[in-house]
């Protein structure tokens, strides 16, 4: 936006522009539920301003999730939780640290159901919505976190837009990723820290072996939904170096994995039955290069809310949908724990079930759960990640009836259509050899 256009736009809505401190004072009351959003989009200025009201407010509950910045001010300033308590839809690295200090409570949910939760089951009083710099017409992009923001602020008592000068300005297909200044009760702006980046460790040799098995199952024209982590990133790297062509993107989180595919000329979205020519996503999380890509080439993308992106029915209308996600452990029936170590919450269900179901219903689609066959315990001994049964206290994130393919470094097991005994045999075949006898004994005693 040029300076003259920006000044005209601000003049039109000048009564809504306030300092973060005034917005926090006018918007939030004791006992309120305040939504911060999800992922790398974060209301930095409003968080600091609200923290400044510590002691003045009582029992304000903050909702967020998958926070990748190093600090939430309202949490850190009030460890006694007199004024503020924090709730997470999906535990991220920083939130795990808060959880260990007793400063983060987890709320289970499936992402596709989040809009209905806000419409019918839970209360939101105040929404702090991070938005990009407005254009000449007063429209702002939702940056790197579309989330369920429109549903949330349409059901909120008070809406605060926080303009972040670093956010990508894309508005999406037919305005799917934008809001208008007129929709806010208050608007704040100011200087922000650089956007939070998400980096990942180099893939391990086991990640590479798992990825090799999965890549063999991916056809030309596949529409990819990639989780984040070592295996999905390695799959993308291998696909970028493969002979496959015309790959597509319909994913919950777009990441540097898709940027690598685009740079290799593999990501064309040309064969998608829906959003032909566009990469479809709900959140963006990765490097500054990724955020620059979204900002500089907005015509390549259809960012949209979870109603759209996570709908299994919509996903199923595309052919060859390939969903790749990680798991913590699976049992011999195929039940998957993707999010906990016993009763300790590690992450969340998120959108995994949405894409497993969508891939299952897609013609030629395949849903993969990928995990190393073992992990090392603190004493250095190996423990199998394929277990006789999901232990008590742990979470069943996906039922056995929804698990189609499981991949470890020892191969791929296809479970759909198999009996309990056949499932156990398939799971044992991809378990670590040191644990196959033990698993086999359990299977014979329990599955005939």
* 49: enclosing H helix or E strand: helix 44-51
Q: DSSP character for 69?
A: S
C-alpha triplet 310, 111, 125: angle, nearest 5°: 125
Cα–Cα distance measured from residue 16 to residue 187, given in angstroms and rounded to the nearest whole number:
6
pLDDT at 14: 83
Cα–Cα distance measured from residue 20 to residue 315, given in angstroms and rounded to the nearest whole number:
40
How many residues are there in the chain?
448
pLDDT at 223: 98
Cα–Cα distance measured from residue 92 to residue 241, given in angstroms and rounded to the nearest whole number:
31
Cα–Cα distance measured from residue 308 to residue 324, given in angstroms and rounded to the nearest whole number:
19
> Which structural domains are found in the chain, ordered by start?
3-189 (3.40.1080.10), 205-447 (3.40.1080.20)
pLDDT at 1: 46
Cα–Cα distance measured from residue 31 to residue 39, given in angstroms and rounded to the nearest whole number:
25
Backbone angles phi, psi at 288, to 5 degrees: -65, -30
| Contact by Cβ (8 Å): 161, 129 | yes
**CB count, 10 Å around CB of 105?**
15
Contacts of 363 (CB under 8 A, 6+ apart): 319, 320
Cα–Cα distance measured from residue 296 to residue 170, given in angstroms and rounded to the nearest whole number:
9
pLDDT at 9: 59
Interhelix angle 20-27/44-51, rounded to 10 degrees, is: 60
pLDDT at 52: 98
pLDDT at 348: 92
Backbone angles phi, psi at 192, to 5 degrees: -115, 155
Q: Which residues of the chain have pLDDT under 50?
A: 1
């Amino acid at each position: 936006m040029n300076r003259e256009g920006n000044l005209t736009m601000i003049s039109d809505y000048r009564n809504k522009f306030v300092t973060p401190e005034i917005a926090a004072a006018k918007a939030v009351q004791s006992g309120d539920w305040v939504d911060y959003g999800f992922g790398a989009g974060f209301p930095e200025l409003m968080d600091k301003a609200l923290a400044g009201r510590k002691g003045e407010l009582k029992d304000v509950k903050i909702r967020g999730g998958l926070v990748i910045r190093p600090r939430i001010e309202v949490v850190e300033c009030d460890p006694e939780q007199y004024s503020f308590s924090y709730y997470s839809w999906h535990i991220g690295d920083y939130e795990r640290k808060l959880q260990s200090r007793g400063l983060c409570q987890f709320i289970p949910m499936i992402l596709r159901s989040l809009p209905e939760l806000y419409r019918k089951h839970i209360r939101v009083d105040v929404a702090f919505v991070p938005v990009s710099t407005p254009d000449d017409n007063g429209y702002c992009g939702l940056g790197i976190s579309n989330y369920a923001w429109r549903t949330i602020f349409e059901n909120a008592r008070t809406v605060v837009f926080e303009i972040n000068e670093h956010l990508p300005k894309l508005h999406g297909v037919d305005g799917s990723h934008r809001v208008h200044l007129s929709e806010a009760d208050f608007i704040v702006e100011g200087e922000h820290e650089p956007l939070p980046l998400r980096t990942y460790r180099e893939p391990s040799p086991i990640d590479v072996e798992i990825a090799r098995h999965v890549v063999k199952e991916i056809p030309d024209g596949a529409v990819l939904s990639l989780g984040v982590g070592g295996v999905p990133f390695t799959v993308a790297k291998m696909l970028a170096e493969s002979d496959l062509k015309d790959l597509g993107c319909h994913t919950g989180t777009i990441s540097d994995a898709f940027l690598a595919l685009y740079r290799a000329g593999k990501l064309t979205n040309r064969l998608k039955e829906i959003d032909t020519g566009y990469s479809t996503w709900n959140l963006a999380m990765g490097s500054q290069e990724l955020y620059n890509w979204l900002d500089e080439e907005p015509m390549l993308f259809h960012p949209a809310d979870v109603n759209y992106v996570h709908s299994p029915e919509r996903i199923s209308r595309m052919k060859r949908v390939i969903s790749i996600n990680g798991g913590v452990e699976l049992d011999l029936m195929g039940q998957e724990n993707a999010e906990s170590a016993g009763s300790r919450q590690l992450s969340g269900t998120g959108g995994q079930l949405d894409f497993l179901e969508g891939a299952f219903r897609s013609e030629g689609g395949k849903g993969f759960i990928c995990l190393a066959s073992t992990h090392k315990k603190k004493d250095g001994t190996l423990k199998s990640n394929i277990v006789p049964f999901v232990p008590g206290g742990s979470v069943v994130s996906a039922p056995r009836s929804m698990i189609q393919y499981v991949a470890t470094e020892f191969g791929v097991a296809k479970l759909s259509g198999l009996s309990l005994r056949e499932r156990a045999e398939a799971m044992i075949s991809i378990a670590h050899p040191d644990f196959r006898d033990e698993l086999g004994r359990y299977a014979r005693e329990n599955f005939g």
